[in-house]
Amino acid sequence: MSRIETLGLLEEIQALISDKLQVVSYKWLSRNFLVSSNVAKRLLQEFVENHGNDTEVVYSLSGWLKKNPSSYHVRLVSRSMLAEAKGDFDDNCSVQVYSVQACIPKDPAALWNTEFVQAEELFKQPSAVNNCLRDNRFCGISNSFVKRNAEQAPLSIAAPQSKSAGSAGLDKSNILHKNIAVSPPQQTKVQKASPTVSMQSSKSERNSTGTNSHASKPPVDKEIIPPVTANGNKRQNGKSSSEGGGSLANLWDRASAKSKPNCAPAENNKLSLNTTVSAEAQIRAREEIEGMSSDDDGQNANVKRASNGEGGRKRRVVFDYSDEEDEYGGAVNLASPDPPKGKLSPDSKQRTETLLLEKKNLIFDKQKEPEPEVKEVKAAKIETQPPKEELSVVSKGMKPKMASLEKIQRSNLEKDANKEDSVTNAAPTSPKRRKVLKTRIDERGREVTEVVWEGEETEIKKADSHSTEIAERNAATNIVNRPLVAKKTRAVGNTALTNATGKAVNRKAGNKDPKQGNILSFFKQV
Amino acid sequence: MLELRLVQGSLLKKVLEAIKDLVTDANFDCSATGFSLQAMDSSHVALVALLLRSEGFEHYRCDRNISMGMNLNNMSKMLKCAGNDDIITIKGDDGSDTITFMFESPTQDKIADFEMKLMDIDSEHLGIPEAEYHAIVRMPSAEFSRICKDLSSIGDTVVISVTKEGVKFSTRGDIGAANIVLRQNTTVDKPEEATIIEMNEPVSLTFALRYMNSFTKATPLSSMVTISLSSELPVVVEYKIAEMGYVRFYLAPKIEEDEDETKP
């Protein structure tokens, strides 16, 4: 990058900050001006040196924490907190400018808001276009997990991944890496150090929250939101997935509870399992979102739902961060509208905990195996578009139970994978998946938070209600899930205006009425 | 050790009939003060709170607080085996995973023991704060039941509005609309036919009739029903159980915006 260009950019940054009041982060800078992330960081550094006095700076500190056991940590701090935060780190921590802005935003989400919008736009570009998000060309990290390929993942990953390609096999995860890669490896523990809380959340968390601010906020705000809005929102989140054959399901989904039983057979005739599934997924998703809003214990709902993903395919990204963090993230539900932002990726630890990472990688591979089918289906329907996904944070308190829960899911998933692929291929719609964050303590005593991708396929059943019943029964018989059953529905209420054609139907239909208040929003647990 | 002897066994039968449609599994909590239950329906829209005070039992022994998970359908099946005049005794041993219902005929010439398996239910107990309600309507329970039934043939939701004019139940559906207005009426021969409206503030709330209709399954328990409404709280539909307690149903209101959308 020549000096002259640099100067031009600096002026532009100045203009962006002072005129448009935009938060200029190195990521945004890198993508916007097509410079590498390192150059972007240097630019920001330079900018801060020149104009530092009239702008607010957010630094990203990364390094090992002093406290025992020391962990790798990335923290965003404002300038005033910098010295203090440095004290928490080992001597040789890296200090980089993360972003410059006119003032420190109250809502930390604002920090990555523009980035997010940008990434979203990049992601929406037609698949033929090879943009910097896709080929990951500005990534500052280079290793086997970070691929700089421009392949169109949804189409290309149909073949099972080789082990080492593992985590990077999906275009999405590439992007993930890309997005995060620029900064040094992620921390494992993030503390909520007093006042800087808003600033210093780990990157991964910021991402997720950012996502949230875009996607799930609207539904979270109130249960009042009419179904249309909710759906609209969903659809837009899932950009693509619902546009194909799924749209019909969405319509039905939106229709009043009454119509559901009628449409179910139609769906089944077409063997369009996925339509059903996606409709249901939406219900659940909404339920989830609303549940989170009305209730702090919403995590449980997610757990349950996780377990509900009978035959769900899931892919999972593993990364670590502390659970204090979770509290923060857990308070809100995160619906990540598009994969590039779902960049809670494993690279966080790659330098620091290679071993562990490798282990995780294995998991990756294992889990991804069912994935290709999903993708295929989608590819057939909606080319290149990302799957819809809901990202929900399941915060701490999951304990080892989660581990076993996951095991169960995994086995479910494997079982069902075979059963399903024949049908999914014929299915007219793309599967819905969502991410669930799970925290558990691993065998080395560390806290591992994983983002689990969950599919929402259910078994193929003749009647819609039937399948729901089965799902419920499964959930009920599953001992681990069992206690959670009760909690799960604490989402917003279900009016179930339908004439009862069986509990399952009712319940499901009920979930669809966003106007029905939930008793849990009035009475708190004792 | 637990031993509860209820002379008016039919009460328990009615209680079960009243709640089993709404809740399938629930924990009965037994303490020195009484026999109680709190449970939500599966969609967490409605909540049932039952209390049978210890004084209402002829004999009440509960050595320590105990929570017994029961499937209400199964319990109802067993209680159906009791005659309406039977004396029902509930017996349980500490640490046992069963509970016994003993039915004695009034003449003591028939004694039946039914043992039911208990289950582990992970239930959430909600704290229900005491609240001042904007409006409290006391009316004959049969009348309320009739209104809910009638309205549900027309629409799915009922708007209950209390004004100084009286209480209005209205609905709207495909085939048309219905409004039923009840005025305060205390000049009746029998107190159980009175309609009493206490209103501090006008209030109007929308509810799913489906739930209201399942609440009215408690009608046999009491000739009067009390409906307490507040704009920011769930409605409480309470049926007193003669001298010994109550069944209260809480129902979260529907959020009103454009009514039309909920009506298919």
CB contact under 8 A, B257 and A226: yes
Structural domain contains residue A62? no
Phi, psi of A85 (to 5 degrees): -65, -35
What is the residue range of A331's domain?
211-521
Residue of B nearest to A510 (CA): B43
Structural domain total, chain A:
1
Closest CA to A286 of A339, A342, A338, A216: A216
Q: Can you tell me the distance from the alpha carbon of B217 to that of B41, in angstroms, rounded to the nearest whole number? A: 15
Closest CA to A416 of A468, A450, A456: A456
CA-to-CA separations, A353 to A66, A337, A347, A358, in angstroms, rounded: 17, 30, 10, 9
Strand partners, B2: B62, B92
pLDDT of residue A142: 64
From the list B124, B251, B262, the residue facing A515 with the nearest CB is: B262
Strand partners, A101: A56
> What number is the average pLDDT over the span B34-46?
93
Structural domain contains residue A340? yes
> What number is the average pLDDT over the span A15-25?
81
pLDDT of residue A115: 82
Most confident of A68-77, A261-270, A351-360: A68-77
Closest CA to B136 of B224, B47, B222: B224
Structural domain contains residue A388? yes
Chain B residues touching residue A494 (CB < 8 angstroms): 43-45
Phi, psi of A354 (to 5 degrees): -55, -45
> What number is the average pLDDT over the span A7-34?
81
**SS3 at position A362:** helix
Q: Can you tell me the distance from the alpha carbon of B86 to that of B77, in angstroms, rounded to the nearest whole number? A: 15
Confidence of residue A434 (pLDDT cuts 50, 70, 90): low
CB contact under 8 A, B124 and A511: no
Please indicate whether residue A421 or residue B171 has the higher confidence score (pLDDT): B171
> Looking at the complex, does the CB of residue B260 fall below 8 Å from at least one CB of chain A?
no
- Looking at the whole model, is its pTM more than 0.90? no
- Please state the domain extents for chain B: 2-117, 135-262
pLDDT of residue B6: 95
> Looking at the complex, does the CB of residue B156 fall below 8 Å from at least one CB of chain A?
yes
Alpha helices per DSSP H over A19-128? 26-32, 37-51, 79-88, 109-124
Structural domain contains residue A18? no
Structural domain contains residue A190? no
**Low-confidence winner among A190-194, A448-452, A518-522, B39-43 (lowest mean pLDDT):** A190-194
CB contact under 8 A, B43 and A520: no
Confidence of residue A222 (pLDDT cuts 50, 70, 90): very low
**In this structure, are strands A388-393 and A432-441 parallel, antiparallel, or unpaired?**
parallel
What does the pLDDT look like over B187-232, one tens digit per residue? 888 888 899 999 999 999 999 999 999 999 999 999 999 999 999 8
Strand partners, B236: B228, B250
Average pLDDT along chain A: 54
Contacts of B76-84 with C-beta under 8 Å, sequence gap 24+, read B76/B13, B76/B16, B76/B17, B76/B20, B78/B114, B78/B116, B79/B12, B79/B13, B79/B16, B80/B13, B81/B112, B81/B114, B82/B9, B82/B13, B82/B112, B83/B9, B84/B9, B84/B10, B84/B13
Confidence of residue B156 (pLDDT cuts 50, 70, 90): very high
Phi, psi of B253 (to 5 degrees): -70, 160
Confidence of residue B27 (pLDDT cuts 50, 70, 90): very high
pLDDT of residue B242: 86
Q: Can you tell me the distance from the alpha carbon of A137 to that of B116, in angstroms, rounded to the nearest whole number? A: 68
Most confident of A105-109, A201-205, A263-267: A105-109
pLDDT of residue A55: 81
Size of interface A-B (CB pairs under 8 A): 124
**In this structure, are strands A447-455 and B66-71 parallel, antiparallel, or unpaired?**
unpaired
Preceding omega of A69 cis (within 30 degrees of 0): yes
pLDDT of residue A6: 66
Q: Can you tell me the distance from the alpha carbon of B17 to that of A181, in angstroms, rounded to the nearest whole number? A: 62
Most confident of A4-8, A167-171, A227-231: A4-8
Q: Can you tell me the distance from the alpha carbon of B216 to that of B249, in angstroms, rounded to the nearest whole number? A: 10
pLDDT of residue A312: 41
In chain A, what is the greatest distance between 2 CA atoms, to the nearest angstrom? 72
Strand partners, B176: B173
pLDDT of residue A38: 84
What does the pLDDT look like over A177-215, one tens digit per residue? 444 433 444 443 434 333 333 344 334 444 443 334 443
pLDDT of residue A287: 53
Q: Can you tell me the distance from the alpha carbon of B207 to that of B229, in angstroms, rounded to the nearest whole number? A: 11
CA-to-CA separations, A443 to A375, A403, A440, A446, A448, in angstroms, rounded: 33, 11, 10, 7, 10
Structural domain contains residue A261? yes
> What number is the average pLDDT over the span A473-501?
40
Q: Write out A96-160 in H/E/C secondary structure.
A: EEEEEECCCCCCCHHHHHHHHHHHHHHHHCCCCCCCHHHHCCCCCCCCCCCCCCCCCHHHHCCCC
From the list A489, A491, A497, the residue facing B208 with the nearest CB is: A497
Structural domain contains residue A325? yes
pLDDT of residue A282: 54
Closest CA to B89 of B78, B37, B26: B78
> Looking at the complex, does the CB of residue A496 fall below 8 Å from at least one CB of chain B?
yes
CB contact under 8 A, A497 and B156: yes
> What number is the average pLDDT over the span A39-46?
85
Give me the interface pTM, i.e. the ipTM. 0.81
Structural domain contains residue A236? yes
> Looking at the complex, does the CB of residue B105 fall below 8 Å from at least one CB of chain A?
no
The type of residue at A153 is A
> Looking at the complex, does the CB of residue B71 fall below 8 Å from at least one CB of chain A?
no
Overall fold of domain B135-262? Proliferating Cell Nuclear Antigen (3.70.10)
CATH number of this structure's domain B2-117? 3.70.10.10
Is residue A520 scored above 60 in pLDDT? yes
